[in-house]
């Protein structure tokens, strides 16, 4: 499990600060913080999610900037549809970060791998002795890593959100 830092500094902030300090130490005139690597972004996202009771809606509010605009648009449309139908299950009925309805007990971020222009970061999730995996797809946008999709053993989030939207029409 990846503990949340007690001093409030996220992994992503630590990586960015370290990059800036390294550039400054090497005498770069126009030093700017380095973009954290994809694995650090995913680690920070899951640390935040686990630190706040794995409430998907609240994690998304806090971490919206980590999601690519196309995915954010789909998620927000799904959220609006669910809010408009409070007495029915409309849209996602699970936590997209954990692919579960239950609160997971631990997570472990694996090594990032390239997939064309994108990067895939696997996250192993645990619920007691059970293990599952979500693969987080990220792409660079404006010098920052953004989540573009989440892949599950049964499919992927973007395809599911498209199907749910089509079912609502």
Tokens 């936590």, residue located: 95
Q: Please report the pLDDT score of residue 130 as a whole number.
A: 95
Terminal alpha carbon distance of the chain:
41
Q: Is the pLDDT assigned to residue 57 strictly greater than 80?
A: yes
Q: How confident is the model at residue 8 (pLDDT cuts 50, 70, 90)?
A: low
- pLDDT, one tens digit per residue, over 38-47 is 999 999 999 9
In this structure, is the dihedral angle defined by the CA atoms of residues 143, 41, 10 and 76, taken in order, positive or negative?
Answer: positive
> What ranges do the domains of the chain cover?
11-168
In this structure, is the dihedral angle defined by the CA atoms of residues 112, 146, 99 and 44, taken in order, positive or negative?
Answer: positive
Q: What angle do CA 8, 148, 67 make, to 5 degrees?
A: 35
Q: Please report the pLDDT score of residue 4 as a whole number.
A: 47
More confident residue, 112 or 4: 112
Which CATH number is 11-168 given? 3.10.450.50
Neighbour count for residue 130 (Cβ, 10 Å): 11
Q: Please report the pLDDT score of residue 17 as a whole number.
A: 40
Tokens 């619920």, residue located: 127
Residues counted in the chain: 169
By three-state DSSP, how is residue 42 classified? helix
Distance between CA atoms of 54 and 67, rounded to whole angstroms? Answer: 17
Mean pLDDT across the chain: 84
Q: Please report the pLDDT score of residue 32 as a whole number.
A: 35
Q: Is the pLDDT assigned to residue 18 strictly greater than 50?
A: no
Q: Is the pLDDT assigned to residue 133 strictly greater than 50?
A: yes
What are the two backbone dihedrals, phi and then psi, of residue 85, each rounded to the nearest 5 degrees? Answer: -130, 65
Distance of CA 88 to the CA centre of its chain: 27
More confident residue, 70 or 142: 70
């Amino acid at each position: 499990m990846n503990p949340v830092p007690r001093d409030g500094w996220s992994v992503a902030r630590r990586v960015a600060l370290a990059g800036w300090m390294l550039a400054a130490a090497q005498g770069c005139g126009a030093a700017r913080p380095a973009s954290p690597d994809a694995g650090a972004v995913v680690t920070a996202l899951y640390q935040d999610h686990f630190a706040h009771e794995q409430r998907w809606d609240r994690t998304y509010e806090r971490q919206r900037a980590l999601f690519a605009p196309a995915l954010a648009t789909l998620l927000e449309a799904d959220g609006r549809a669910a809010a408009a139908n409070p007495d029915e299950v409309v849209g996602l009925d699970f936590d997209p970060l954990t692919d579960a309805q239950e609160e997971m007990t631990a997570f472990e971020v694996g090594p990032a791998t390239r997939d064309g222009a994108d990067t895939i970061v696997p996250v192993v999730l645990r619920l007691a002795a059970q293990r599952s995996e979500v693969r987080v797809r990220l792409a660079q946008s404006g010098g920052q890593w953004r989540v573009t999709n989440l892949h599950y053993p049964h499919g992927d989030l973007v395809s599911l959100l498209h199907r749910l939207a089509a079912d609502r029409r």
